[in-house]
Amino acid sequence: MKRFKKYRLALILLGLSALLCLGAYAYNQVGYHLTINDVSQIAYRNAGVTSKNVQLQKFSKKRLGLVATYEVKLETKTRKYSYVINASSGSIIERHYKKK
């Protein structure tokens, strides 16, 4: 009987661990329908620059609550741009720029 309880407890713990891993994976991956290339084109178009003008670019996945977003940072010779773009719809949530 004790052996069965230990086996049952181990199965329950294993199941909970699997659920936690799946939940973490889903939270980090679900909602990212656009690729980094799509997001970069949105940011370039909004900033009025081309990839040739960009000296530095940085992309990172972020979450605003449950909303999947990309944070995009671009730098040209004259300005720095920062965007938060919805990873599902492509809409710009935040946008900032400043002259160097």
pLDDT tens digits for 86-95? 999 999 999 9
Task: Decide if pLDDT at 5 tops 80.
Answer: no
Give the pLDDT of residue 1: 61
Give the pLDDT of residue 3: 73
Give the pLDDT of residue 36: 94
Query: Any idea what the Cα angle at residue 100 is, between residues 77 and 57, rounded to 5°?
Result: 55
Higher pLDDT: 37 or 100? It is: 37
Task: Decide if pLDDT at 71 tops 80.
Answer: yes
For 16, 20, 37, 98, the CA distances from 57, given in Å and listed in that order, are 40, 34, 12, 15
